[in-house]
């Protein structure tokens, strides 16, 4: 991947990953949303659709694509099912990310992935950034922002590993518990450090 700097951006659900990625995009980063790549595969790749249906049953719509909401109700809260889904999807997502990075023509790439640390994508990254916030904020963001029921939001939050496990593996932690301005301040400060490190590398 040459001189491209790849920042892996992760964190548990509703901790502000997309907000941080948008901030970095405005600073000039090329951004890749791994979750969007998963959506594309589930909607458009017949081979993957067949594999998912073979493992999880009637999860396809009449048009053939995978019903993500139905699939989500199956795998969230089922660790074995989630691992099987990841085994199906992760190699394809990683291959797609590799192609996007190779073709981007931009100095800094940000790859946002909730399962970044659990798969091969972590090996593509020179730095790991983790977003974190309080659990009550996660719940509120899911209920208000994504229109989930409180029960569904709680299942999603509690089905994930403790945030501290990701934070412990981070090079940079962005705490989104405060205002948007405070989140932006942290993200830009960390971004400027990446830019400075890159310049020093070029000069040495």
**b (16+ CB within 10 A) / e for 161-190:** eebeebeeebebbbbbeeeeeebbebbeeb
Tens-digit pLDDT profile for the chain (204 aa)? 558 999 999 999 999 999 999 999 999 999 999 999 999 999 999 999 999 999 999 999 999 999 999 999 899 879 899 999 999 999 999 999 999 999 999 999 999 999 999 889 999 999 999 999 999 999 999 999 999 999 999 999 998 999 999 999 999 999 999 999 999 999 999 999 988 876 766 555
Please give the model's pTM, rounded to 2 decimal places: 0.91
* CA distance linking residue 197 with residue 180, whole number of Å: 26
Query: Angle 147-41-116 (CA atoms, 0-180°, nearest 5)?
Result: 75
Summarised one tens digit per residue, pLDDT across range 143-178 is 999 999 999 999 999 989 999 999 999 999 999 999
Which residue in this structure is represented by tokens 């932690």?
173
Question: Residue 34's closest CA among 102, 144, 122, 103?
Answer: 122
List domains and CATH numbers for the chain.
5-203 (3.40.50.300)
Sign of the C-alpha dihedral, residues 42, 46, 48, 51?
positive
């Amino acid at each position: 991947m040459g001189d491209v700097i790849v920042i892996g951006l992760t964190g548990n659900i509703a901790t502000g990953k997309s907000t941080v990625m948008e901030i970095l995009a405005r600073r000039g980063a090329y951004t890749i949303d791994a979750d969007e790549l998963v959506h594309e595969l589930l909607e458009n790749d017949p081979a993957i659709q067949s594999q998912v249906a073979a493992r999880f049953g009637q999860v396809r719509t009449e048009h053939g694509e995978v019903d993500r909401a139905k699939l989500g109700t199956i795998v969230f809260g089922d660790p074995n099912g989630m691992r099987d889904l990841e085994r199906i999807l992760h190699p394809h997502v990683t291959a797609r990310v590799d192609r996007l990075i190779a073709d981007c023509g931009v100095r800094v790439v940000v790859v946002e992935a909730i399962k970044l640390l659990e798969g091969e994508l972590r090996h593509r990254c020179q730095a790991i950034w983790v977003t974190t916030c309080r659990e009550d904020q996660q719940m509120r963001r899911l209920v208000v922002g994504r229109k989930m029921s409180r029960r569904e939001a709680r299942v999603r939050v509690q089905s994930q590993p403790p945030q501290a496990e990701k934070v412990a593996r981070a090079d940079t932690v962005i705490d989104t518990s405060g205002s948007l301005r405070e989140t932006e301040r942290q993200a830009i400060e960390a971004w400027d450090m990446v830019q400075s490190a890159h310049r020093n590398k070029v000069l040495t």
